Amino acid sequence: MALDRWIALIFVTFCSIYGYAAFFTMDQLLPPFMQRNPVWPSTFPKVLSVLGIIVGMIVLLGVEKAEDNGEPSATEINYRRLGDYKIGQALMLLGLMVLYALMLRPAGFLISTTTFLVVGSAILGERKLHIMIPVGALATGFVWYLVQEVLGIFLRPFPFFMGM
């Protein structure tokens, strides 16, 4: 089964769970006066879940025939060539982004961002750290100044134990 049909299968499952919530659990908390309304908070989700299951089944069963576009070009992305791609780098960068999200508040903007930029480039294979560290630090400082001072959006610059 091709990837797009796997996704359709997951989508149909998801719609079923969503539909179950809409049809059976959502209305239990509905106050009586709202039950006299022609439209409930669950009305639209009910419609969506039914439509979603129908459309998902169409994709899943391959009712609509896709046009064969021939061989994809070298710059086009194709999951069948996933082995040729730098999947390790991509996964490490994703991990780094998650780490950044978790560290942003506790470690402060300046430290976490500089680290993110330097480690990110190191993952991609950059070895000239004596260039990347100053570039990263400078860019971080500049962005922080822009966001905090010019835009007036608060970004905690230093780690939590430094009192800011």
Partner 1 sequence: MLEGIFIGLEAAFSVKNILMVVAGCLIGTFIGMLPGLGPMSIIAIMIPVAITLGDPAAALILLAGVYYGAIFGGSTSSILLNAPGVAGTVATSFDGYPMARKGQAGKALTIAAVASFAGGTIGAILLMIFAPALSSVALLFHSAEYFALMVVGLSAIAAFAGTGQVAKALMMTILGLILATVGEGALFNMPRFTMGMMDLQSGISFITLAMAMFALPEAMFLVLNPARGASNAEGGSNKITNLRFSREEGKAMLPVIGRQSVQGFFIGVLPGAGATIASFLGYAVERNIAKGGEREEFGKGSVKGLAAPETANNAACTGSFVPLLTLGIPGSGTTAILLGALIALNVTPGPRLMTDTPEIFWAVIISMFIGNLVLLVLNLPLIPYIAKILSIPRNYLIPFILFFTLMGAYIGQNNATELLLLVGFGVMATIFRFADYPLAPLLIGFILGTMLEDNFSRSMQLYRGLDFIIERPMTLGLLVLAALLVLLPSYRARRARKRAEGVADGD
Q: Single out the residue of 33, 71, 74, 162 in contact with partner 1 (rule: CB under 8 A).
A: 74
- Smallest distance, Å, CB 55 to partner 1? 5
Q: Which two tokens stand for residue 137?
A: 């630090």
Instruction: Give residues 29-68 in contact with partner 1 (rule: CB under 8 A).
Output: 29, 34, 37-41, 43-45, 48-49, 51-52, 55-56, 58-59, 63-67
Q: What's the CA gap between 106 and 98, in Å, rounded?
A: 14
Counts for the chain of helices (H) and strands (E), in that order = 5, 0
Side-chain-facing half-sphere of 121: CA atoms under 13 Å: 16
Instruction: Give residues 12-31 in contact with partner 1 (rule: CB under 8 A).
Output: 15, 18, 21, 26, 29
- Smallest distance, Å, CB 72 to partner 1? 10
Nearer to partner 1, 2 or 164 (CB): 2
Q: Single out the residue of 107, 155, 157, 159 in contact with partner 1 (rule: CB under 8 A).
A: 155
String of DSSP letters for 2-14:
-HHHHHHHHHHHH
Q: What's the CA gap between 19 and 42, in Å, rounded?
A: 9
- Smallest distance, Å, CB 161 to partner 1? 18
Q: If 0-12 CB within 10 Å is exposed, 13-18 middle and 19+ buried, where does residue 159 land?
A: middle
Instruction: Give residues 96-115 in contact with partner 1 (rule: CB under 8 A).
Output: 97-98, 100-102, 104-105, 113
Instruction: Give residues 115-154 in contact with partner 1 (rule: CB under 8 A).
Output: 116-117, 120-121, 124-126, 132, 135-136, 139, 143, 147, 151-154
